Every structure is written in C-alpha cells, then in structure tokens.
Structure 1
Amino acid sequence: MPFSSRVFRPVRWSVAPAAGLLLMSCSAPAQRVAPAPPATIRPDSTVLVAAGPHYQRGAVHRFFWGTHYRALWTLPVTAPVFNLRTAVPGGLTPIREGGSFQTRNLRLVDRNGVQYVLRSVDKDATKALPESLQNGPIGRLMKDQTSVIHPYGAYIVPPLARAAGIYYTNPRLVYVADDPALGEYRESFGNALYLFEERPEGDQRTVGSFGFSAQVVSSRHAFTNLVASSRYQVDARQYLRSRLFDMWLGDWSRREDQWRWASFPAADGGTVYRAIPRDRDHAFFKFDDGLLTHIIGWVKPNYQSFHEKIRLSDVEGLNSAARPMDKSLLPYLTRQDFQQIADSLRSSLSDAVIARALAVWPREVQQLAAAEFSRKLRSRREQLPAVAARFYELLARDVELPGTDEAERFVLEALGPRQVRVQVYRLTPQGATLLQQRVFHSPETRSLKLFGLGGNDAFELRGDPDPRFKIGVYDGAGQDLLEAAPAPARPRSRLTVYDNADGNTLRVGKTEVEKYQPRAEEFDGAGWLLRHRLY
C-alpha cells in the first residue's frame, strides 16, 4: 500500500541555558517533498499512514514534556482515500479555507448547497504566537504538545452521543491525496489525514443527529436572540445533558464557539434552541504525564487529563472555559434536575455501547488503545452522579439571573429562613406570563444577582430575605420600577439595588440603594454578550 509522501529531518537535542529546560530543536523545519502523481493513489482505495510521525521523541524529552498520545500519532493506520467526486451524490466543490488557530479546515459544498468540512487531524497551535517565535524553540515545543490530543478521539464520539441522547456531528477519518479536484487548495491540503463531516449550519431537516432542525445557528446568533427577547429559550435540560457528556469525555474546551444551536418552534410561538456540541479535539486530553507538563497543569487547571477517575476537586477547572455559558443557561435547574439527568446518562452509556463505539476505530488503533479506553470510560461513567452534584454546587454558589432587552418583572420573595424564591415574568399588553422560577437555599447559594438588561422592567421585593443571601438588583437600561411591598421598617437583608440613574422609579423603603456606573457586561443586552466572547 502507498504511504503519505512526507519527509522529516532528523532531530537533535539541546539544553536552553537561560531556562535550564530541555527543548527540542530541528536542524531545519520539516519539508514536504513534491507530491506523488495522482495515479499512485487511486481514489476510493485505502492507504496506510501515520497522522503525526514527527511526534516521535526520545525518553529524555518524554520524561520532561510527556508521552501523551505519541504512540497513536506515530502509528500507521488504514484510512480510505477521499474522493471529492463520489463522497456525496453529485460530488463536492471546495469553496473556502478556514479553521481556528490550531485546525486547518476546508469547506466544501454539494450540488444542493449543503456544506461539509474537512478538518485536519494534525494541529498547529503556533499560529497563536508572534511570527518571530513560530519557527524557534518555543514554536517547536508548542507544536510538539499537539501530541496531548488523541488523533482519533472525535471518531468514536458519534455512537456514544447517539446512545446518550445528545446531538453530534458525524466525522469520518479520510486521507486526502494530491487530488486535482482540490483546485487552488491542492498544494496546501493534499497528502494528509482529515476528519470529514457535515457542517452544522442552516437547514438540516434531513440530518437526524441535528434533530432534523430547519435552522441551525451559531452561538453568536443564538445568544443575540436570547438577549433580545424572552421568546427565545434554551432547552436547559438538554444542554446540561451535553455538558455532563463533555465531562465524561474529559472535553474541557467547550467555549461558546464550540457549539451550534438547533432551532425548534415552541408551544407559545417562540423558539427553543437545543445544543449541538462540535469540535471534539480536546476530548480525552492527556497532558500531565511529563514532569514539566505536570507542573504547568497546576497553574492551568482547565488542562484536565483523561484519567480513569474524575477527581471532584478538578470539576471546576474542567469546566472553566464553559463557565459563562453554564451560568447563563443553567440557573433555574435544581439539584434534583442535575441528579436525574446524571442518572439517566449513566444508564444510557452501557458497556455494550462503549464497546460498539470503540469498534469504530481503525483496527490498528483498537489494538493499541481499546482496552485502556474501555476501562476509563466505564469507570468515569459510574462517577457521573457525583460529578453532577459537584457541578451543581459550583453553579449554585453565586447565581446570575439575566432578563432580556424586552420588559420583564422580577419577583424576589422571602419564603422563610434560608429560602428565597425568584420568579421572572414576561410583560406584554395582554398581561404577565411566567417564564422561570426557582427557590434558592442557603448555604448552597451565597449570592444572587438579578439583571434587567434592556426594556422597562419591574423589580418587586416581597418580604425581607434571609441575610445569609447577598442579593444585588441591577436595573440595566430602560425606565425601570423597583419597589418593596411591603417595605420592611428595619430590613435585615443584605440586599442592594444598583441604580444607574437613568430615570428609574424606586420605592424600596430603607433598602440600600447604590448609584453606580455599570460595567459593560452589566448594563444592557449587547454588553451582556461581552462575557460570552461573542462581540
């Protein structure tokens, strides 16, 4: 069988005297030889090729910088050769190069306008560095650490996600040869391994793994609508199920751009969004098996490695990238909701499901890694209820409840010792409609913040909340009404109304009122989106 036409120059070792650290340096950057003639690799055949033979390192380097998944990167695997003319009926046409600072993507379109993407298996994070550093020792070391990523991890996620009842993309491992059909992208994309998958965007009514949604949108689109109107809502239970699945996989890189949102009509005429996780590059991350990478992990708590056991002390770090989303989308779910979903997810991920998923790997990968992954996935599955409980506790500690740019009424009511209830209503000329409510308990919740954002909102304070809660009411933009009914003569509560002095009406008795200049993320809908890194 033919092999990938790449060559790599020999490596030498040196010690950086200033840092005292062992670094790898190459005699010259790796070069690609001239591509083989198209006839040597027939479309619709297979090749035996390694995803990253350049990650092979000696024992000394591995001691300091980790073994990671080097054995899998350097392992030749059997992969089908990708044929743009036959991959889908009518063929595919390349239209655009893209990707993040690590992954190179090539967007493709079929004859019906449906879009697909080729995502490089190998990564290169050096593009995040200044150009002067990219080809030096720092750049080479940064490139070397791509070996922390499992090159075939995303490949087994679809059968697991299907059993878990969450949405997913369907990546297929393919080898792109020096294919003339690549056109202007032939030189930069030929002769390498890729994951080929549908692009989750637009009309997906024919794709079951996206819920047959008529409109799949980006996080920026979805969050803009969520802030604009309460007629847009997220299915919080479905999102939580996806997040617990992330933790099971050890996928810590779940920032906003790693999601798409399937749209569905709601019973009240609005829209419900359901989460579509994408880009599983950091699932099964393995970082802490080198002396120096282990030390780095102490200061980068989000770099959580995929071990047999999920330490509860690591749950916060594991979820730090998604924390702004989690706080915005999950505040009304209770401890019972978290436990129910964790128990359901654990039941759905049977030993048989795990075995079928691992059987999707190329035969060579199965022989090397299936036993280890079967053991780890089964062990982590049993920890899901405990992980969910810890995740709930972290989110329940300090709660933020945003409104929208339309008019809402927030009712904050003292229910007795250690309890306070928050209800949020949509205000229309036809009346008020209850949107969300939850009873919060001390000591699991220590602070509550209510954000009006835009619109002419009303804040109604009933009774005197337990002083164990620190409560802040942020009026936001608009002509808002804040009133305590009845206003306590001697309030005990730690409740502060933050008034930005834009014409609000305050009837709050002796409740503390603080004039303030709001930060961007506390002021209006557009500002709120800043915390989600979408603007």
Structure 2
Amino acid sequence: MMKFPFSPKKATLSIIGLLWVLSYFWPVAAQAQSVPNDSTATVAAGKHYLRSSFHRFWWGEHYRKVWAEPVQVPFLWISKFQGGVEPLKQGGSFQTKNLRLVDKKGREYVLRSIDKDPSKALPTFLQKTFVANLMRDQTSVIHPYGAFIVPALATAADVYHTNPQLVYVADDPALGEFRAEFAHTLALLEERPDGNWETISSFGNPNDIVSSKKAISQMVKSPTHAVEAGRYLRSRLFDMWLSDWSRREDQWRWAVQKKDGQTFYAPIPRDRDHAFFKFNDGVLTKLVGVFKPNYQSFDKTIVGSNVTGLIKSSRQMDSYLLAYLTREEFQQAALDLQARLTDQVIEQALQTWPPQIRELSAAEFANKLKSRRQDLLSAAEAFYKEINEDVLVPGTDAQDTFEFQFEPDGSLLLFHYTHSPDKEKKLIHQKKFLPKETHSISVFGLGDKDTFVLRGTGKNKMNLKLYGGEGTDLLEISPGFQLKGRKILVLDEEDGNEFGKHQKINKKAYVPAAQEFNGDGWLLRHRLH
C-alpha cells in the first residue's frame, strides 16, 4: 500500500497555504490615498482588501471594492462631541478596536473601528501564519457601511435601534492614553444602550436599559417580569431580512418598562457587523459554508434552510422568548413587516450612504432587500416550525402551576399559572400544541413548590417530559383523566415530591445538571446566563 508523506489534513492545509501565497503576490490594482482637510478626511475603510482575480476566485469577491473606495468622512473631536466626552475604557472583542466614552450626563457611547482583525482571536502560534492572513482577509465579507442604513429601515419596521455615525477620529489630546491607538481611525460612533436613555425614542424612551443576562434572569425568577414577545419576534424577522445571523444574547439590550405591577423587557438589537454578510462567492468560502450553516449570505432569498442557519446562534433564546406565540402571530408579524418596508423606505435608507458607496452598492441592496421582503412570510413559517419542533418551557422561581389538557385529536393545551401572595391563581401563558408541529415538550418547574395538573380524555402524540424543581412539587391527576398513546415522563430529583401513580406515567429518578432545577441553573444549562 502506498504511504503518503502528509496526512490528508496537513495536505489540505498545505494546498490552501499555497493558494494563499500565490494569490497574495498576484498583481493588484493601484490604491487611493487618504487626504485629510480641516473638517473632513477622505479615507478608504480597507484598501488592503483589494486583491487579484486569482485570489478572488478562491476566496471570494465579497465587498472588496467597497472597502477600498475612498469616502469623505467628518472628523470626530471627542473634546467637542456632546459638549465633550471622556474616554472610559478600551473593550470589545479581539476583532475590533472599541472605546467607551461617557458624556457629562453619564450616558455612554461606543467608538468601534470599521476595520477588524479576527486573526487576533487565534492561538499565538497561528498569528504569524497564512491562517491569520486568511482570517484577516475574510473581514471583506462584511459591508463596512451596512450598519448605517439600518436605522432608517428599523424605524419603518418599528424595531428599536442604535443610531451609528461614520466618523474619522481626530488626533485629539482628550483621547489621553488611548490617543495612539484610536487617533486617525475610521470608526462607527453610536449610543451604548445601558442605563437611562429616556430622551432617545429609538430605544423606546426608557429610564433603564439592562443586559440580556439581567433581563432573562429576572424573567425566570419572577412571573411579574416578562419579555415583549411580539416586539422580539418582529425584531428577529427583521434580522432575517437583513441576513444578520450573529444574534446571540450579547447582541441585545432590553428597555425596562413597568405597567400595572408588571415589568416588561423590550428588545434593543445592537451591533450590526454581520448584517448583509457576503460569503458564498468564492470556491473555497462556498465550501466552508457547507460546514458553517450559520454563515448565511445576503442574497435574494430567505428559504427554510436559510432560517436554520440564521437562528443557529440565538436558537435557545428564540425558543425561550417565543415559546407561547402562535403560528398566526408569526404570520401577522411577517405581513406587517412586508407592509412597512416599502420600496420607498428601502430607497431612502440607501441614500444615507456616501455617494461613492451608493454607486457601488445601492442597486444591489435595493434589489435584494425587495426580493427578500417577499420571502418574509415563508421565513416566518420556517422560523415557527424550527422553534416549535422541540419546545422548552421553563417556569419561574416562584410558585407555578402547569395544567395540561389532552384532546382527542392529539393536541395539547398548556396553561401556565402563577400564584399571588394570597394564593390566587393567575393565568400568564397558554398555548395549543399540535402533534404535526411539535415532537417534544419539556416543562421545567424550577424553584419553589410547583404543581403539574393532568386532565382530559385525549391522546398523547408528543414526548412530554415534566421536570420538578427545588421545593416539594406535586403531580395532580384530575378525576376522569384518561390518556391514550404515549406515556408521560416525570423526572423526579427525589427531594420529597408528591408524584402520584398512573398507568400512563413513567417516573424516573433524576439528578439535575448544573442546578438546572432553579432559574440560574436553567439559564446556565441552556447557555442564556
């Protein structure tokens, strides 16, 4: 048998490295220079992304011409902005230079470099290799000016949003210790949604904005805290329209709104770096996309398979926050977005770009956004199916009652009640689950004493799992309860629960992982902490 001197993995890396070396030294076009004047600078976001046709064949055309096109940008003097702001700290990911600023009223802003260097996230031994150069080159999949058209689109869609400005950071002594790092940087400047922003309508004029960790922690601790699910759904469909696939929990902040003794959390999307992503236009990048389905490209369609990738980073949060919304509510949200996002709205939003960028991108974006708008209804349908196939329903750390009404057609009505201090039950959620849509439902009691009530004379066609929680929980079987079909699985952590016996109930001893039977543990297990 013939033996190869390299393993297939090493051979593949060698071939990729050779292709990169060849493409790196292939001739490229001449690049424009930056010419600053008194009030503006003419700069290109990333002239280094202009590459040869050979390189582009393998690694994609992406938005290279846009990155290399010089545009006129106003200077930002932080000593003058908002009457003078003070730099607080450098932060952000490995990819982006990020500087937090605070004004005299205590409101914070974020200054983020337009160009990025994802190679800094690599292990040290790879940061001087062709792998790092390839990662840096692939920043060109991002449209450097995409975030600046989002506010006009989001306003029309009734989706909360930040208000980014394109700036060129002046060499201002007020930058202090950050002067060397940030002076002469093309950057995005926007509000940092945190704390009191009651003067900003694009945040809903809240007097408090909190992180996802704080908002979701409060929701699982107390039934008096809840998400504005309809607004979150509209925001998520809007994300799909923009082909923004990076929507994990840190990409959101939550406006706190109090009404009639309840606290509601309204979603504020932030960080649109991955909107309008263009990845599948090179031979090798298209191949990578097969193994990275979340790398969704901004094209003319949003089909069912696109939705799977678009929600990959946020699926747990989507499933939790949208668990009780109906198919009809998903459809109505899509129809409402279609009506709001008119041709005129799209074309006016594209006018916010510098003239040079409009020349390069406006026609393409207008065509794709109008086409994707037609797919919003089918995207909403695919989204609903994805998160309703296997449903996770947590209770709260307060006393909860879950009632299950089994119907003859195999459907299941779920009612979630909470209890006031005087023990009065109050219905907070309900939904009808259909076996043609839902394969399994897992209900978590979490903290305090919880009750599961089984009633009806129906047929169980779904895998129903009931998890007790901290405290002594009760399984109550109503008179006349009769069930055909699958058995119900009750997982008992054996801390004094009162789980009755029935021929259609399987009881199983269970040791919770990561203390999942209380709110904090459930968040940790499902990566929402």
TM-score of the two chains, using structure 1 as the length reference: 0.91
Corresponding residue of 1:23 = 20
Do the aligned partners of 1:474 and 1:522 also contact (CA within 8 Å) in 2? no
Corresponding residue of 2:522 = 528
Q: Which amino acid aligns with 2:336?
A: S
Q: Which amino acid aligns with 2:518?
A: D
Structure 2 residue 279 is matched with structure 1 residue 287: yes
Corresponding residue of 1:143 = 136
Write out aligned runs for 1:413-452 (5 A).
Answer: 413-430=405-422, 431-452=424-445
Match of 1:85 among 79, 86, 90: 79
Secondary structure at the counterpart of residue 337 of structure 2: helix
Corresponding residue of 1:324 = 316
**Shift, 1:517, TM fit:** 1.6
Do the aligned partners of 2:212 and 2:254 also contact (CA within 8 Å) in 1? yes
Corresponding residue of 1:114 = 107
Match of 1:344 among 336, 344, 367: 336
Corresponding residue of 1:401 = 393
**Shift, 1:315, TM fit:** 1.1
Report the Cα distance in structure 1 between the residues aligned to 2:209 and 2:12, rounded to whole angstroms: 53
**Shift, 1:534, TM fit:** 4.7
Match of 1:363 among 338, 355, 365: 355
Structure 2 residue 301 is matched with structure 1 residue 309: yes
Corresponding residue of 2:478 = 485
Write out aligned runs for 1:454-493 (5 A).
Answer: 454-486=447-479, 488=481, 492-493=485-486
* Unpaired segments ≥5 residues, structure 1: 1-14, 28-35
Report the Cα distance in structure 1 between the residues aligned to 2:21 and 2:253, rounded to whole angstroms: 38
Corresponding residue of 2:377 = 385
Distance 1:158 1:481, change over 3 A: same
Corresponding residue of 1:3 = none
Structure 2 residue 83 is matched with structure 1 residue 55: no
Report the Cα distance in structure 2 between the residues aligned to 1:62 and 1:179, rounded to whole angstroms: 38
Secondary structure at the counterpart of residue 254 of structure 2: strand
Report the Cα distance in structure 2 between the residues aligned to 1:516 and 1:426, rounded to whole angstroms: 25
Report the Cα distance in structure 1 between the residues aligned to 2:363 and 2:483, rounded to whole angstroms: 65
Secondary structure at the counterpart of residue 321 of structure 1: helix
Report the Cα distance in structure 1 between the residues aligned to 2:65 and 2:526, rounded to whole angstroms: 37
Distance 1:308 1:474, change over 3 A: same
**Shift, 1:494, TM fit:** 2.8
Report the Cα distance in structure 2 between the residues aligned to 1:396 and 1:277, rounded to whole angstroms: 23
Do the aligned partners of 1:231 and 1:271 also contact (CA within 8 Å) in 2? yes
Q: Which amino acid aligns with 1:19?
A: S
Match of 2:146 among 140, 153, 161: 153
**Shift, 1:465, TM fit:** 4.8
Q: Deviations over 1:217-248 (max 9, x none)?
A: 01111111111111110010000000000000
Corresponding residue of 1:64 = 58
**Shift, 1:85, TM fit:** 2.5
Q: Deviations over 1:114-148 (max 9, x none)?
A: 11110111111122211121121111111111111
Secondary structure at the counterpart of residue 523 of structure 2: helix
**Shift, 1:518, TM fit:** 2.3
Q: Deviations over 1:443-499 (max 9, x none)?
A: 111111111111111111113552311100011222111122137577533311111
Do the aligned partners of 1:66 and 1:288 also contact (CA within 8 Å) in 2? yes
Q: Deviations over 1:68-98 (max 9, x none)?
A: 111111111111111212221x211111111
Secondary structure at the counterpart of residue 56 of structure 2: helix
Secondary structure at the counterpart of residue 226 of structure 2: strand
Corresponding residue of 2:241 = 248
Match of 1:224 among 214, 217, 223: 217
Distance 1:203 1:48, change over 3 A: same
Report the Cα distance in structure 1 between the residues aligned to 2:12 and 2:387, rounded to whole angstroms: 45
Corresponding residue of 2:258 = 265
Report the Cα distance in structure 1 between the residues aligned to 2:509 and 2:50, rounded to whole angstroms: 61
Corresponding residue of 1:74 = 68
Report the Cα distance in structure 1 between the residues aligned to 2:292 and 2:363, rounded to whole angstroms: 29
Q: Share of identical aligned residues, percent?
A: 50
Write out aligned runs for 1:161-176 (5 A).
Answer: 161-176=154-169
Corresponding residue of 1:104 = 97
Aligned-residue Cα RMSD (Å) equals: 1.9
Secondary structure at the counterpart of residue 264 of structure 1: strand
Report the Cα distance in structure 2 between the residues aligned to 1:418 and 1:16, rounded to whole angstroms: 55
Secondary structure at the counterpart of residue 423 of structure 1: strand
Q: Any runs of at least 4 consecutive aligned residues in structure 1 with deviations exceeding 6 A, and if so which?
A: none
User: Comparing 519-528 with 97-106, which one deviates more in the overlay?
Assistant: 519-528
Corresponding residue of 2:28 = none
Q: Which amino acid aligns with 2:250?
A: D
Q: Deviations over 1:162-215 (max 9, x none)?
A: 000010000000011322221110111111211111110001111111000110
**Shift, 1:42, TM fit:** 5.9
Q: Which amino acid aligns with 2:344?
A: A
Report the Cα distance in structure 2 between the residues aligned to 1:412 and 1:386, rounded to whole angstroms: 31
Report the Cα distance in structure 1 between the residues aligned to 2:154 and 2:407, rounded to whole angstroms: 41
Q: Deviations over 1:1-47 (max 9, x none)?
A: xxxxxxxxxxxxxx9885212124979xxxxxxxx9xxx9566x111
Do the aligned partners of 2:406 and 2:483 also contact (CA within 8 Å) in 1? no
Distance 1:363 1:491, change over 3 A: same
Report the Cα distance in structure 1 between the residues aligned to 2:499 and 2:342, rounded to whole angstroms: 56
**Shift, 1:100, TM fit:** 1.6
Secondary structure at the counterpart of residue 476 of structure 2: strand
Corresponding residue of 2:508 = 514
Distance 1:251 1:391, change over 3 A: same
User: Comparing 322-331 with 423-432, which one deviates more in the overlay?
Assistant: 423-432
Distance 1:496 1:529, change over 3 A: same
Secondary structure at the counterpart of residue 475 of structure 2: strand
Do the aligned partners of 2:514 and 2:525 also contact (CA within 8 Å) in 1? no
User: Comparing 394-403 with 16-25, which one deviates more in the overlay?
Assistant: 16-25
Match of 2:488 among 480, 485, 495: 495
Do the aligned partners of 1:41 and 1:177 also contact (CA within 8 Å) in 2? no
Corresponding residue of 1:201 = 194
Report the Cα distance in structure 1 between the residues aligned to 2:390 and 2:360, rounded to whole angstroms: 44
Corresponding residue of 2:229 = 236
* Unpaired segments ≥5 residues, structure 2: 1-9, 26-33
**Shift, 1:523, TM fit:** 2.3
Distance 1:444 1:319, change over 3 A: same
